[in-house]
Amino acid sequence: MNPVKLTENIYWVGAVDWDVRDFHGYSTNRGTTYNAFLIMDEKITLIDTVKISKKSDMLARIKEIVDPEKIDYIVVNHVEMDHSGSLPDMVELIKPEKIICSKMGEKALRQHFHHDDWPYAIATPGEDISLGAKTLSFLETRMLHWPDSMFTYVKEDKILFSSDAFGEHLGTSERFDDEVDQAILMEELTKYYANILTLYSPLVKKLIAKVQEMNLELKMIAPDHGVIWRSNPGMALQAYDKWSQGKGDGNALIIYDTMWHSTEMMAKEVGAGLQDEGISYKLLNLRYNHRSDVMREVLNASAIVLGCSTLNNGLLPRMAGFLMYMRGLRPTNKIGAAFGSFGWSGEAVKLLNEAMTDMKFDIVDDGLKVKYVPEEGDLGQCIELGRKVGQALKAKKI
Ligand code: FEO
């Protein structure tokens, strides 16, 4: 239960959740952390809290440093329950002088916990709060991830407490970016952005521009999930910069579900066509790939080819669920195409195309439908479809 020192008088006092496997529909296969931070100064300040089930872990860590009742301020960077779940109990225990939050944060806190008597203090960008030796300044970051979200920056130490942004669902005994496997770190950073922030990419883009304009020196970025970026905060910033612009890597995904393997046969031949054009691709069968892992791949892909059999005049349920999820996240700047087998009505391809049109994908073909089981000529058309997508990718020079 040891706290972890970030720098002089600033500590991680959060909790590791090794067991969580679902975060509102996002598979968290490696668990997560709920990060909270303690600043020891004339005004002792707690930045964020943890999910209610982990409150005792956080309290034990705080007690290693100070009696929790001596805390003066609580900063709430984000009201979602994984960070504010312990707040009512902490307020009861600490009786803080100030609960520092954004304007929208105050509203959200009142609507979550129904305490009009809490000592809300609105953090205004440009108006610093002195803790004694250290100074807090604030950035409004609405919709990253909720309307209430904000960042807190400690000027003297150049540490940005970035709430959900730049985080990962990664439960580890290590606390810093240089202590974990870099491939796993990038995989989880990617998955987090893909499943939490893709929809808000225009706001991320503005935020990155604002941080650059402010010339904000960043010695560390301390998000509310996963590791603290102390060695390479630039890695997280550069990745966010790329993703917020919808830049793909030039590769393609064939995402499909199949009833009796006909659509699967088609998927493999579409892949052969892509390969003919020298395009790197992945076949992702929704039966075996969780939607949130598929979204991680979508983030970096430049073309999405969707395949589905027709069932009851519609889509197979796994594809219908995936499309609903992807449409909510609204990835941009993708080339799209669709295919699928059918028995008598054959609506699936039309529905796939409609979904991709809604997401403003650049659809390069009307779509390929095959009745029952494809024969050689049909499979040849699948290869042609793959080639067409590959050629469109090359023409776009992604
Ligand atoms: Fe980690 Fe939006 O909560």
Tell me, what CATH number does 196's domain have? 3.60.15.10
Q: Is 51 in the pocket of ligand 1 (CB under 6 A)?
A: no
pLDDT in tens, 25-82: 999 999 999 999 999 999 999 999 999 999 999 999 999 999 999 999 999 999 999 9
pTM to 2 decimal places: 0.96
1 vs 321, residue with greater confidence = 321
Same domain, 97 and 226: yes
Q: What pLDDT does residue 146 have?
A: 93
Q: Which pLDDT value is given to residue 156? A: 98
- For residue 143, pLDDT beyond 90: no
Given a cut of 80, whether residue 381 has pLDDT beyond it is: yes
Same domain as 282, residue 233: no
pLDDT in tens, 87-114: 999 999 999 999 999 999 999 999 999 9
Question: Residue 136 is part of which domain span?
Answer: 4-244
Q: What is the mean pLDDT of residues 128-147?
A: 95
Query: Which residue's alpha carbon is nearest to atom 1 within ligand 1?
Result: 164
Ligand 1 center–CA 26 separation, angstroms: 12
Of 244, 268, 290, at which residue does a domain stop? 244
* Residue 78 in contact with ligand 1 by CB distance below 6 A: yes
Q: Are residues 66 and 213 in the same domain?
A: yes
Report whether residue 169 contacts ligand 1, using a CB cutoff of 6 Å.
no
Q: Are residues 277 and 172 in the same domain?
A: no
pLDDT tens readout for residues 229-276:
999 999 999 999 999 999 999 999 999 999 999 999 999 999 999 999
User: How would residue 150 be classed by pLDDT, with cut points 50, 70 and 90?
Assistant: very high
- 160 and 270 assigned to the same domain: no
Q: Write out pLDDT tens, residues 168-200.
A: 999 999 999 999 999 999 999 999 999 999 999
Q: Which whole number is the average pLDDT over 344-363?
A: 97
Give the distance (Å) from ligand 1 centre to CA of residue 149.
9
What is the rounded average pLDDT for all residues in the chain?
97
C-beta 164 within 6 A of ligand 1: yes
Separation CA 317–CA 324 (nearest Å): 11
Do 269 and 340 lie in one domain? The reply is: yes
Q: What is the pLDDT of residue 397?
A: 67
Residue 84 placed within a domain: yes
The confidence score (pLDDT) of residue 210 equals: 87
- Report CA-CA distances (Å) from 212 to 156, 208, 221, 274, 287: 19, 6, 15, 39, 43
Residue 80 bears catalytic tag: yes
Q: Answer yes or no: do 54 and 89 share one domain.
A: yes
24 labelled catalytic = yes
227 shares its domain with 335? no
